[in-house]
Structures are given as structure tokens and as C-alpha cells.
Structure 1
């Protein structure tokens, strides 16, 4: 069986409300959707959600890299030749992880459909009974964030993650107000998205000590492992690294420096499921618990991350929240309260609405 055709759709998904983090406000979500088809008519779907501040890619550049550099390498390839295909990608172009992820995810969807198995069965089996998801609250006034958090808890969510990373004094107020709103038993996670420096981070951790934060995620710039190590050394709270790790070479540096307690793996940073599995294995060797994070992907990227999270015991938490944030998605993802549901269907386990994909597409191409 061989890959005979690849389609690439540059689309924009409407959000229920603007998504605001320390370095950007998104009023809609630009995404690149890929469709791979074999010579036997089997179709696999993938997705890229690039972030120029994190992956170094734009929406437009990702589309063109897939169209001109990566997709042509896959024509007439065996869908199961995942290692060889990634080596071809990496020999052709350095970086471009979300572009590679869009094709990697589609390959795994194909492999699952060809074998009649959900992806998680192909990469490790069911390691967890269920996957709880948090609700993620973007940056707003402290009281607005507290109200959002209270409403999410009232609707059944047991985990709240808040975005911060502006002025330390206001972020401290945000954390305190949200904790007050949700009570002491709900888990609370804080993500600064590189928004603070070392001094600000230590101040925030010190002044929110009574808020029982599970962990503080990527408080300083991605490259600043020295500060992250110093923060971890004096903090009783856990520190999670996100933007500072894209690949196994980054993670080796973090492990050697003892710069973080936890790792946030994102398919868009790592280049897809295949390299993300290597990250999870290395983290497991270092006894570093992992999370599968989200770039606010559609159902396609979300379920890819969910399958990865389900397959490895070292991946203890996840943020598969994208479908909760869109007015309409390209496929249905079901949640039972705050637990993401897996269908019995093979591959990603979703039915992509091809007509809707075309409706929201701004430009597209086909590679044969």
C-alpha cells in the first residue's frame, strides 16, 4: 500500500471568545489540515497549529513547507515507514515541527485505519483508565477569571489552568482570586508562557504559597534554563517546562541541569507522535512526569494528543481542550463531564466533516 495523494487546507476556526496568553491574542485559530490518501482509497487526517513565538513557524510558512518541501517526499511511500519518512523530513529541512506533525498525525491515522486499531493501541496500549481534561482560562481581569473558573467547576471540571504572564502583581491577584472562587479541593495550574523573569517568578510563587498551585509552567524565557534551575532549587512548588523543550536534545539539557520537575509535550513542538514518543521515553528514564499540551488544535490534533496521552503511563496529565473552545469543529469530540471519550473507530477515531473543512479553508493545494 502506498500514499498516492496529499491535500493541504489552510483554514481558520472560529473561537467562542478570544484566547489571550502572555504574548498574543487570537480571535480565531489558524490551522493547516492535511489529508493523505492511499492507492486503496484509505484516508488519514493530520493537523498543524503553528505558533511563530514557539515553533518559529507562521500559518503561511507551514502551508508552503508542507506543499513544497515535505509532502512531495511522501508520495509513493509506505504509510508504515514512519522512521524513514521522519528521516527524510529532517534531512530536507531543519525545524518546522508543526509542519512535520501535520503529516505524522495523518500517517498514524492511516496506520490505525489500515490495521483496524485506534492509534493508542499501536503505540503502547491503554495506560490509563480515563483522561481528565482541565478548563483553560485565558488572561482577563482577575475577577472575570475567577467567575469563569467558578462556572467551570460548577459544570463538573476538577482541574483549572489559568494563563498569566503579565505584571506580577496582577498575576498574583489572578491566582488568589481564582483559588478563592474554586475552593481548596479543585486542582489549580498556572502557566506564564515565558511572561516573567526569575525575580518576578520567585515573587509570584512566594506570594501565592497559600494557593496550593499544582505547578507553575514555563515562567521564564524558553532558553533560560539557568533561571529555571534556580527557581526550582528554592521553590517548594513544581516547575514544568514547555516552550524550553522541543526535542530530545533540549530535554537532555534540562535533565542534566535538573532545571524542571515536569515536561509539557506538544505534538506541534516535537514534530508529531513519533518524536513525541521519544520524548516520553527519555522523560520516563529521568523519572520526569509529562503532560500532553495543546496549541488549541481542532478535533484532529486534539485526538492525536489524546491517543499519545492514553498510551504512556509517564504522561500523567493532558490539556486536550481545543474542541471545547470552538464554535464549530471539523469533527465531533465527546466529553463525559471533564473526561475525554474515545470511540471504537480505528485511527484517530473521528469522522472529519470534509465539507466543513472546505468551507473554512482560505487556500488549498493537492500533491500527487
Structure 2
């Protein structure tokens, strides 16, 4: 079960901005659903009455009110971008630097299993038009080598498979697997727990490495660039604190020729839509993929609206701002309301 927080910011001009914050459970990263709501309660007095179009001052006000806790700041930042886009009459992607309008491949998420089980899962997504897959590894060194070889032998030439260890390998395990597969042109994602671990592996291996769970801040991105840790990154909007901070990370990555995937940490079509807005500001070949968990959830707060997976691709809506808002009747009464002077 995922714990999502839907945020609406209202303005005195009659515009309302929406966003969603959704950690992937409570154990995946240092973030949890109730923490978003607690963080908003703390930060609300600091941002009420501010102009939501001024992303820089708003983010500074949040930082002064609550250092850290980026995941709690993300929905406030995104909702402000929604308002800014509506006020300007432009989609968020255009405000974030300009849109490269081609649809973006959506990566499937393939669970660790036997090689045949994993291939069967890929074939299921393949039948639905998916061309990019994220295959989870990290359970056993010998089995991981077998899995990767089998999947590469059965991969279509039009497909890309990223092998995602999700921090599961030790340094020795990562080096063993990667060096056993030097004949294959494959990419490994977050092989070890820390950036230091991944740098140590980088120095002993030749495959491209992607950083995901250990990219939280612009300082992390600066270290990745300066030390040459990775050739690819995953920007997860909720984890890095929203679109304002994500755009800074994007720009540094592009300046150094690093490939970029953009993803929600989890959530519904609202989270998918803010991610694809940022993704559409990244030019090819640096724009790699997005991710969506639309096929993993059983509820839909905005039926038929927002960014929808179509033949394995995702595009943002053309409407100003985020371009999607949830059904408020479906959401029910808000659990908290913050007004000027209510602190």
C-alpha cells in the first residue's frame, strides 16, 4: 500500500495548483507518507502569502523553516509550478526550459526471478509496446550473471534493458558480476549502497553505471560529476525535493553529457505527469526513459486525464500548468487546511 498526500494550493487570483507526494513505502528510502503531512504543517506558515510563481524564494523559505526533508517539500514546490504554468498559460515543461515534444519511453519494472520468469515478464510488457525494461538483480552473484546473459540473449535489438541492483551488491559482488559480463554492452544501475561504493566499483569496471537512490541533492550530482562516478542518473522528483531542485540537477548533468531518466518515486497519474514534464525538457540522446506505476495501482484520482501510458510511451498534457487535477469528490474532505494567520 502506498501512502500518497495530495496537495492543493489556492491563490487570491482564483488559481489552484495540485501535486502529489508519495514515498515508495516506509523502508525504501528515508521518507514516509506521514512525514510529508507533518513537514507541510511545519512549513505552511513560512510560505503562506508568498507569490507561488517565485520558486526560488519559496524553496528558501521552506529550507529555513525545515532543513532537509526534501520529500516533504516536493509537493509544495510542484503545486507552485502548476500555478505558475496556469498563470502564464503554458505547460510546466515550457517554463522549465522548453519542451522537446517527442513521447518518452516508459521503463517496465521486472522483478527478480529465474531467467525464464523474468523474460516472460518482459514479453508481457513487450506485447504492450514497452521497449525499455528495468530488470532487478542483486540476489545472488552466479544467478545474476546467468539472468543477465539469458535476458541479453533474448533481448530484441529495438529494446534496452537496464540492470538494477537497487544497492544490493557489495563492492566485491558488483565487481565480480560486472567483470564477468565485459562482453555485453549493458548498463548497471545503483550497484552498491553509497556513492563511495559506486566510485570504488567504477574504478575496477568498464560498464556504464547509473545512480538512482543516492542522488538526493545538487551536491550529490556535483560529486558524481567531479569524481566520474556514473554515466547515467535517475532523477526522482519527490526524492530530490520537487521540480525546482530537479531542474538544477538536470542542468548539471546535461553540462557534463550524462544521460538522464526522470521518475516519480511512486504515486498516481499526478506524480507521473510532473515527472514527464521535466523529462520533456531533456534533449535526446540524453533523455533516456521515464517510469510509471499506473499498472501497479488500483485507484485513479483523475480518470482519463494527465499523462497516460500509450504503447509504452508517455507524454504530458498540453494544458497550462501540470495539466491534471484529481477528482476532489473522490479524495473526500482534506485532512488539514492551512490559512494565513492560522499558525
TM-score of the aligned structures, taking structure 1 as reference length: 0.84
The residue that corresponds to 1:60 in the other structure is 34
Alignment correspondent of 1:320 = 291
The answer to whether the Cα contact below 8 Å between 1:139 and 1:163 also exists between their aligned partners in 2 is: yes
Picking from 263, 273, 282, the partner of 2:243 is 273
Q: Which residue of the other structure, out of 107, 116, 121, is the alignment partner of 1:134?
A: 107
Tell me how far apart the structure 1 counterparts of residues 152 and 314 of structure 2 sit (CA, whole Å): 24
1:97 maps onto 2:67 in alignment: no
CA deviation vs aligned residue, 1:285-311 (integer Å, no higher than 9, x gap): 222222213312211111111000101
Name the structure 1 match of 2:265: 295
Q: Name the counterpart of 1:365.
A: 336
Which consecutive residues of structure 1, in runs of 5 or more, have no partner in the other structure? Answer: 1-27
Q: 1:117 aligns with which of 69, 90, 104?
A: 90
Q: Is the 8 A contact 2:47 2:62 kept in 1?
A: no
The question of 1:253 aligning with 2:223 is answered yes
More strand as a share of residues:
1
Q: Pick one of 312, 319, 330 that aligns with 1:356.
A: 330
CA distance in 1, matches of 2:29, 2:73: 11
Q: Alignment partner of 1:335: what SS? A: coil
Moved more, 268-277 or 42-51: 42-51
Do 1:112 and 1:119's aligned partners in 2 also have CA atoms closer than 8 Å? yes
Deviations 1:42-66 (A, max 9, x none): 2211111235556522211221111
2:133 corresponds to which residue? Answer: 160
Q: How far does residue 153 in structure 1 lie from its aligned partner after superposition?
A: 1.1
Q: CA deviation at 1:185?
A: 3.8
Residue 176 of structure 1 and its aligned partner are, at CA, apart by 3.3
The TM-score normalised by the length of structure 2 is 0.90
- Report the counterpart of residue 10 of structure 2 in structure 1: 37
1:334 aligns with 2:340: no
| 1:310 alignment partner in structure 2 | 280
SS of the aligned residue for 1:125 comes to: coil
Write the distance in 2 (CA, Å) between the matches of 1:72 and 1:323.
Answer: 34
**In structure 2, what is the Cα distance between the partners aligned to 1:30 and 1:330?**
14
CA contact (8 A) 1:104 1:272 kept: yes
Whether the 8 Å CA contact 2:115–2:146 is kept in 1: the answer is yes
Structure 1 counterpart SS, 2:279? helix
**324-333 or 87-96, which moves further after superposition?**
324-333
SS at match of 1:134: strand
Structure-2 residue corresponding to 1:218: 190
Runs of 4+ deviating beyond 4 Å: 51-55
Equivalent in 233, 243, 247 of residue 263 of structure 1: 233
Count of aligned positions? 334
